[in-house]
Homo-oligomer: A and B are copies of this chain.
Amino acid sequence: MERHPTHMTSTTVTVSAPATVANLVCGFDILGLALESPADILSLSLLDEPVIRIRNLDDFGLPADPEKNICGAVLASINRQLPSHVGFDLVQDKRIKPGSGIGSSAASAAATAVAANILLGNRFTQSELISFAMDGEVLASGARHADNVAPCILGGITLVRTVDPLDVLSIPFPPLYLTVIHPHIEVKTSEARSLLSPEVSLKLAVKQWANVAGLVTGLHQSDYGLIARSLEDFIVEPQRSKLIPNFYPLKKVCLDAGALGGGISGAGPSVFMFSETRERASAVEDAMKQVYARTGIPFLTYVSTIGKGVVQV
């Protein structure tokens, strides 16, 4: 392999990459958003040799072998687009627990793509960065999807209209706060996928896309009532909710506490709720804690607004 071109900087770039919520109730496979927190911290430097070194500062037991590591897969994908392979030293401090359903793998992938792009003089477009990060998702789940990496890289709320070719749009939104509960149970994305019937009734599909149109309209028009009315999933939630203990009682207390609505984050097990204010989101958090304290299942909760995605820190 050739050595990397000499015009590159040899400084270290550190980025923060937030958790993300995919699907947004009715928007299965197309809508997602970036939280402000929790967020991973990742530092990347160029090396003189074309090798990739990975160190994990956290205790999640993630592989340091670049061929088995999500960040390694993203760097390999980036290297395939460079005139000559570049060496990277990567140090990751993950704070988003893997398997939480709030985009832990996407945060690693997106952080790596954005940090590498900064080191390489911002030569890639945001679409290209999303594409590199999707190669990390392939290693994580076997599926080349942008549900989490798109909002993680772009921030805000995103619509992934198509993956191939990649067509991602940013959707404007009014002030919104999220409450997330992460029950510490394992839900494999593959299992959550296999639960879904490959066929749906046309009648329910129409109701679902009516809500998708309502949610997108509510976000554009800052219409909280419309957002709340549109946050109903006729197709995926009825099939997947069984994976999450106490899902319906949890949802009920959140709505009673004033949440606009919410549902399963990604493929679960995390559950999220939207609220109009931070105070309301905190009341929803209290309600969530009360329900889950009774289950004996360990859990974490978060309150966050919608964030800017990966940022240099």
**Residues on A close to B: CB < 8 A?**
26-31, 159-162, 167, 169, 171, 196-203, 205-214, 216-217, 220-221, 226, 229-230, 235
* Min distance, Cβ A221 to any Cβ of chain B, angstroms: 8
Assembly CA distance A29 to B206 (angstroms):
7
Q: Are A161 and B211 in contact (CB under 8 A)?
A: yes
Show 15 A/B contacts (Cβ-Cβ < 8 Å), sorted by A. Answer: A27-B213, A30-B206, A30-B209, A30-B210, A159-B214, A161-B226, A167-B226, A169-B217, A169-B221, A208-B209, A212-B212, A212-B213, A216-B217, A216-B220, A220-B221
Chain B residues near A203 (CB-CB < 8 A): 198
- Identical chains in the assembly: 2
Assembly CA distance A202 to B208 (angstroms):
11
Q: Are B159 and A213 in contact (CB under 8 A)?
A: yes
Q: A210-B30, A213-B213, A216-B217 are in contact. Are A230 and B196 (CB under 8 A)?
A: no
Q: Are B210 and A161 in contact (CB under 8 A)?
A: yes
Q: Are A202 and B199 in contact (CB under 8 A)?
A: yes
8 Å CB contact of A169 from B167, B212, B214: B214
Assembly CA distance A199 to B235 (angstroms):
13
Chain B residues near A206 (CB-CB < 8 A): 28-30
Looking across the interface, which residue of chain B has its beta carbon closest to that of A29? Answer: B206
Chain B residues near A213 (CB-CB < 8 A): 27, 30-31, 159, 161, 212-213, 216
* Min distance, Cβ A203 to any Cβ of chain B, angstroms: 7
Q: Are B214 and A161 in contact (CB under 8 A)?
A: yes
Assembly CA distance A214 to B212 (angstroms):
10
Looking across the interface, which residue of chain B has its beta carbon closest to that of A236? Answer: B202
Chain B residues near A167 (CB-CB < 8 A): 214, 226, 229
Q: Are B210 and A162 in contact (CB under 8 A)?
A: yes
| Given pairs A169-B221, A198-B203, 20 additional interface contacts (CB within 8 A) | A27-B213, A28-B206, A28-B209, A30-B206, A30-B209, A31-B213, A167-B214, A167-B226, A169-B214, A169-B217, A169-B226, A171-B217, A197-B202, A199-B199, A199-B202, A200-B200, A209-B209, A212-B212, A213-B213, A216-B217
